Structure 1
Amino acid sequence: MTMTMNTPPIVSQQDWNAAHEKMLVKEKATMRARDALSAERRRMPWTEVDKAYVFEGPDGKVSLLDLFEGRRQLIVYRAFFEPGVYGWPDHACRGCSLGADQVGHLAHLNARDTTLAYASRAPQEDIARLKQRMGWEMPWYTITDNFDKDFGVDEWHGHNVFIHDGNRIFRTYFINNRGDEALGTVWSYLDITPLGRQEVWEDSPEGYPQTPLYSWWNWHDNYDAGADKKWAEVSAAGEAAFRDKGNQ
């Protein structure tokens, strides 16, 4: 097949390498700017949630605090799956569904004391059927009150981020529209949480939980196995190399 579009020039490997190095400088600058933005996000003020929201889960009614599942941080994505949404009752919104397909394995988020939950207005029996059909694993709750309206997701999808201190819950961040579409990886989720990735290279306020880079990484079915001496050696060497290269 012959390409008819206006493609970039075809060059030698040497010229390609030079162009790549030039692009890499800008990419690294963007990465560091993103890290700085995440550090600023971790210093955003919090606002306390002062209403008792009620959701319907697989086992009955639950509170917003219950959605944390015992972890410290919670990310709630408002997915549109309900009567009136295109695709109902067989499918959720196409965009929300594409986003759900991007979600990485939840065990890695959970290992960072973070829970991801979806919420829609569809009944639980429909949500269970949809999850089974699409192969989705995330906990998914039914909104029963004004949670969606109060948190800016009654007319459009979005992620709200919360942290709790005992029974007190605080909203720490919100993202929707274009910023919302790229979420799904472990890193993109952790970067919007108040505690971040919780690794020692991050610029976080004093006292925030942090562990050495790589040391907490694991197979998703092995987080309950405890420390691994060999991995501790490998991860320590990897972190040393990371630091030697200037946190590239």
Structure 2
Amino acid sequence: MALIQNRKTKEISGVVRQILSPEAWKDELAELRKAEKELTRAHDRLAEKRRYSGWVKIEQNYAFTGPGGTATLADLFDDHSQLIVYHHMLKPADPSPCEGCCMVADQIPHLAHLHARDTSLVFVSKAPTVEIEAFQKRMSWAIPWYETKDSFNADFDVATGFGINVFYRDGEDLYRTYFTNGRGVETLGTVWTLLDLTPLGRQENWEAAPDGTQQTQPYHWWRRHNEYG
């Protein structure tokens, strides 16, 4: 009898729904919360694996064109140690740019928060710079965006389609540290999920990270985007 009182079904907008008592609803929510916490810890373990994973040294020079003219891969770091590159599918004379790539761009956070963690983020595409700039203006995006000039996309597993690569700079040396594509980009868009892709991570002292990683307390480094530095 208690189960019947706490739970019944009702068709709402053509869909049969479970209608619970407040007590039963809270019990069910507690079970969902437990599963959510398990998923959060699983994400933390995955990000930890990224921080400890190996790197590949980049031996080839690559050329790009952007708002400031020609650039090298090192220039894309913009004086930061880490670089996240999103390969957007915008192509020359593209009348219908990829909707998925555009959704990714819409969800990129203010870059000041990434810069505060020594991380740059840029987009690259095969479209010429003039078309990139026109598309940026149309979409009201301010993300640094470069035209690829050579085999950069193909050499980093994005010969066609889209993807995201992460790089690290140590003086003159550049390293590739991570790559994903397909549904691997679905979680992108917040400061935290983007930093979780990088070898330095969120740089907070609760994270397990290789010896020598500089870390601070969580929360304490957060600022409004116009108040860093």
Q: TM-score range by the shorter chain?
A: over 0.9
Distance, in Å, in 2 between the alignment partners of 1:40 and 1:82 is 34
Using a 3 Å threshold, how does the CA distance of structure 1 residues 86 and 133 change in structure 2: closer, same or farther? Answer: closer
Out of 211, 214, 219, which is 1:209 matched to?
214
Does 2:148 match 1:143? yes
Q: Mind listing any 5+ residue stretches in structure 2 that lack a counterpart?
A: 1-11
Secondary structure of 2:113 counterpart: helix
Aligned-partner residue type, residue 16 of structure 2? N
The answer on whether the counterparts of 1:119 and 1:140 sit within 8 Å (CA) in structure 2 is yes
Secondary structure of 1:172 counterpart: strand
Aligned-partner residue type, residue 34 of structure 1? H
Does 2:176 match 1:171? yes
Distance, in Å, in 1 between the alignment partners of 2:123 and 2:175 is 18
Between Structure 1 and Structure 2, the one with more strand by share is: 2
What is the percentage of aligned positions where both structures have the same residue?
A: 44
The answer on whether the counterparts of 1:74 and 1:163 sit within 8 Å (CA) in structure 2 is yes
Out of 31, 39, 42, which is 1:30 matched to?
39
- Counting only pairs closer than 5 Å after superposition, residues 100-111 of structure 1 correspond to structure 2 as 100-111=105-116
Q: Mind listing any 5+ residue stretches in structure 1 that lack a counterpart?
A: 225-248
Secondary structure of 2:160 counterpart: coil
The answer on whether the counterparts of 2:51 and 2:200 sit within 8 Å (CA) in structure 1 is yes
Structure 1 residue ranges (4+ consecutive) displaced by more than 6 angstroms after TM superposition = none
- Counting only pairs closer than 5 Å after superposition, residues 77-226 of structure 1 correspond to structure 2 as 77-83=86-92, 85=94, 87=96, 92-224=97-229
> What RMSD in Å do the two structures reach over aligned CA positions?
1.3
Distance, in Å, in 2 between the alignment partners of 1:207 and 1:123 is 41
Tell me how far 1:156 sits from its aligned partner. 1.5
Q: How many residue pairs get matched?
A: 219
Distance, in Å, in 2 between the alignment partners of 1:220 and 1:22 is 36
Distance, in Å, in 1 between the alignment partners of 2:16 and 2:131 is 47
The answer on whether the counterparts of 1:81 and 1:122 sit within 8 Å (CA) in structure 2 is yes
Distance, in Å, in 1 between the alignment partners of 2:116 and 2:53 is 23
Residue by residue, what CA displacement relative to the aligned partner does 1:15-54 show, whole Å, maximum 9, x if unpaired? Answer: 1100011111111111111101111111110000110000
Aligned-partner residue type, residue 44 of structure 1? S
